[in-house]
Amino acid sequence: MDFRITHYIFNLLKLIKPVLIATTIFVSVHISAQDGEDFVIDRVVAVVGKSIVLESDIQNQFLNYKLQREIRGSVSDMKCRIIEEILFQKLMVTQAEVDSIVVSEVQVEADLDRRLSGFIQQFGSQEKMEEYYNKTLTEIKKELYEIVHEQMLAQQVQSGIVSGVDVTPSEIRSFYKSIPEDSIPLIKTEYVIAEIVKNPPISIEEKLRVKEQLIGIRKRILDGSSFSTLAIMYSQDPGSASKGGELGFYGRGQLYPEFEAVAFKLKEGEISNIIETEAGYHIIQMIERKGDYVNVRHILLTPKVSPEDLNIARNQLDSIAGLIRSDSITFEDAVSRFSEGENVNNGGLIVNPYTMGTTFEAEQLDPQVSFVIEKMQVGEISNPVPMKTEDNKDAFRVVLLKKRTQPHKANLVDDYTKIREWALQNKQMETMSNWIEEKSKDTYVKIIDEYKSCNFEHNWGDND
C-alpha cells in the first residue's frame, strides 16, 4: 500500500487510523436524528470474529463527526471511512482475545471517569453535558462502558504491534526525499525560550488562615452538612468542585503521594483530617474503593501569595535582568544561581508540554509570554512577566528569546527532529497496515452487500 505524504498529512501527528476511534469517546452515544437525518432501524452491517458492527454505530459516529464539523467528502464516502475505522478496532479486539489481553472493570471505570471529567469541563457542567446528549450521566456511562473497554483492548494490541518500530537515519532521509516538492509541509514560526523563575513564599499567616478555614468546613461536615455541597461552595479545584469534589477512580501512583497515602486508608464515607500537598490543603471523603483504585471527594483550599511578596519577587527579577543586560552575569549562570523553576538543570529552557521538546509555535505558548516575545529580538531578555506555576501559584519570571525561526518548508537541517517523528509515524502506519492485511485474511470478516462497494484501504472481503 502506498503511504505517501498526502495520506500522512491527512492524519498529521496522529498514529494509525484505529486511534481515531479512541479520540472521540462519544462514538456510540445515541444522538437523536436531527437536521433532516433519516431515522435508521438498527441492523448488523458487519461481523469481525465474534464482534458485530451495527448500523447505529456508523450513524452515531457520522452524527458525532457532523456535530464537530469533521465531515469530509460525500456522506457515503464518510460512512465508508467510519465503518473501516470500526473494522480496524474490532479486528484488534479479536486479537486481544487471542492474546489473552485483559482490561479489568475497575480500569475501564477509572479511565471512563477521567474522560467524562474532561468532557464535563469542556461543557462547563454535568447538567450541560446531560442536556446536550439528552441523557443522564449514568446512562452515558452505561452506553460508553463497552466502547471504552474495546478501545483499551485495541490500544494495548496496537501498542504491542508498533512498540519495536524505529527508524534509521537513512530511512529518515529516504522518507523526506519521497515527499513530493509541492507536498512538503510548511513549518510555522517557532520559538525557543528560557526563563528565570521566582516563586514568592507563602506566609505562615496565610497558611494558618487557610487551615483554619478548612477546619471550620470539616467541622460543618461532621455536624451533618453535605460534603458535596460544601465542595461546590468552597473547593478551589476547578476540575472537581462543580461535581461536589468527586475525582473519579484513580490508581496508586496517580495522585499526590500525601493525598494517596491517606485516601487509600479511609473507609467508605469517612472524612480525613487536613492533608497538605503541593496544591494546598485538602480534606477527603471516601466514596468507594475497588482493589487498587479509589474514588474520593475532596475540598481543596490553596494559600495565596501576598501582593507584597509578589512585588519583592518582581523587584528581584528586575535586578537580575539588569545584571544580565550589563554583562555582569550570563543568563545561564543567573538561572543556576537564582531561578526557582523546575528547569534549572537545563539552562532554564521551557519545555513544550505538547511535544516534550523545547520549540513552541505561538499558539502553544502562555498568552502573556507570547505577547511579550512578539516584540523581542533574539537574545533579548524581558522585564518580569506574571505567571502561574504548575500547582497554580502566582509567580514571576523573566524570559530570554533564544531562537525564532521564520516560516519555511520542512528541511533535514532545521527540522530533523520533526521529520524523524513523521518518518517513524509513517513506518508505524505501514507496520499496522501490514498487520491488518495479514490478520484480516485469518479472521472471519463479513460485510453486508450495501457496504461492499466502499473504496476501503484494506481488503475486507468475505473470507468465510
- 3-state DSSP assignment of residue 463: coil
CA dist 130 and 243 (Å) reads 13
- Residues forming a β-bridge with 381: 400
What pLDDT shows up at residue 124? 72
Q: Tell me the three cell numbers of residue 286.
A: 471516601
H or E element that contains 101:
none
Tell me the average pLDDT across 9-20. 34
Give the pLDDT band of residue 358 (cuts 50, 70, 90).
Answer: very high
Confidence of residue 71 (pLDDT cuts 50, 70, 90): low
By the 8 A CB rule, do 402 and 194 touch?
A: yes
Amino acid at 358: T
Give the phi and the psi of residue 264 in degrees, each rounded to 5: -75, -10
Q: pTM (2 decimals)?
A: 0.65
Q: Confirm if 193 and 350 have CB atoms less than 8 A apart.
A: yes
The reply to whether 5-178+415-452 and 189-201+306-406 are identical in fold is: no
- pLDDT exceeds cutoff 80 at 33: no
**At residue 91, does pLDDT exceed 60?**
yes
**Any residues with CB less than 8 A from the CB of 333 and at least 6 apart, and which?**
none
The pLDDT of residue 334 is 96
Contacts of 55 (CB under 8 A, 6+ apart): 40, 41, 42, 43, 44, 45
Q: In what helix (H) or strand (E) does residue 72 lie, and over which residues does it extend? A: none
Phi, psi of 196 (to 5 degrees): -120, 125
pLDDT at 412: 95
State the average pLDDT for the chain.
Answer: 85
State the architecture of 5-178+415-452 in CATH terms: Orthogonal Bundle (1.10)
Q: What is the pLDDT of residue 107?
A: 85
Q: Which secondary-structure segment (H or E) carries 274? A: none
Query: What's the pLDDT tens digit per position in 425-439?
Result: 999 999 999 999 888
Topology of the domain comprising 204-301: Chitinase A; domain 3 (3.10.50)
8 A C-beta contact, residue 146 and residue 112: no
Other Cβ atoms less than 10 A from the Cβ of 179: the count is 19
Q: What pLDDT does 462 receive?
A: 61
- What distance separates the 2 farthest-apart alpha carbons in the chain? 79
Q: Which residue has the cell 537545563?
A: 346
Q: Specify the 3-state DSSP secondary structure of 268.
A: coil
pLDDT for 220: 96
Do 398 and 200 contact (CB within 8 A), yes or no? Answer: no
State residue 137's pLDDT score.
81
* β-bridge mates for residue 296, sequence order: 286
Instruction: State the DSSP code for 190.
Output: E
Q: How far apart are CA 155 and CA 152, in angstroms?
A: 5
Q: 283, 274, 276: which is closest to 230 by C-alpha?
A: 283
Closest Cα partner for 228 from 248, 213, 250, 243? 243
**pLDDT, position 17:** 35
Instruction: Give the pLDDT band of residue 123 (cuts 50, 70, 90).
Output: confident
Mean pLDDT of 43-63: 85
Hey, which residues does 44 pair with through a beta bridge? Answer: 54
User: 35: part of which helix (H) or strand (E)?
Assistant: none
More reliable by pLDDT, 210 or 131: 210
Q: In the prediction, which pLDDT does 200 show?
A: 92
Beta bridge partners of 356: none
For position 64, what pLDDT does the model report?
65
Give residue for cell 460544601. Answer: 230
pLDDT digits (tens, 9 = 90+) for 222-242: 999 999 999 999 999 988 898
Q: Which residues lie across from 250 on neighbouring strands?
A: 294
Question: Could you tell me which residue, 104 or 70, shows the higher pLDDT?
Answer: 104
Percent of the chain at pLDDT above 90? 52
Sketch the domain layout of the chain as residue ranges.
Answer: 5-178+415-452, 189-201+306-406, 204-301
The 10s digit of each residue's pLDDT in 372-395 is 999 999 999 999 999 988 777 889
pLDDT band at 16 (very low <50, low <70, confident <90, very high): very low
Q: Using one digit for the tens of pLDDT, what is the confidence trace for 266-286?
A: 999 999 999 999 889 999 999
Which listed CATH number (1.10.3720.10, 3.10.50.40, 3.40.640.10, 3.20.20.140) goes with 189-201+306-406?
Answer: 3.10.50.40
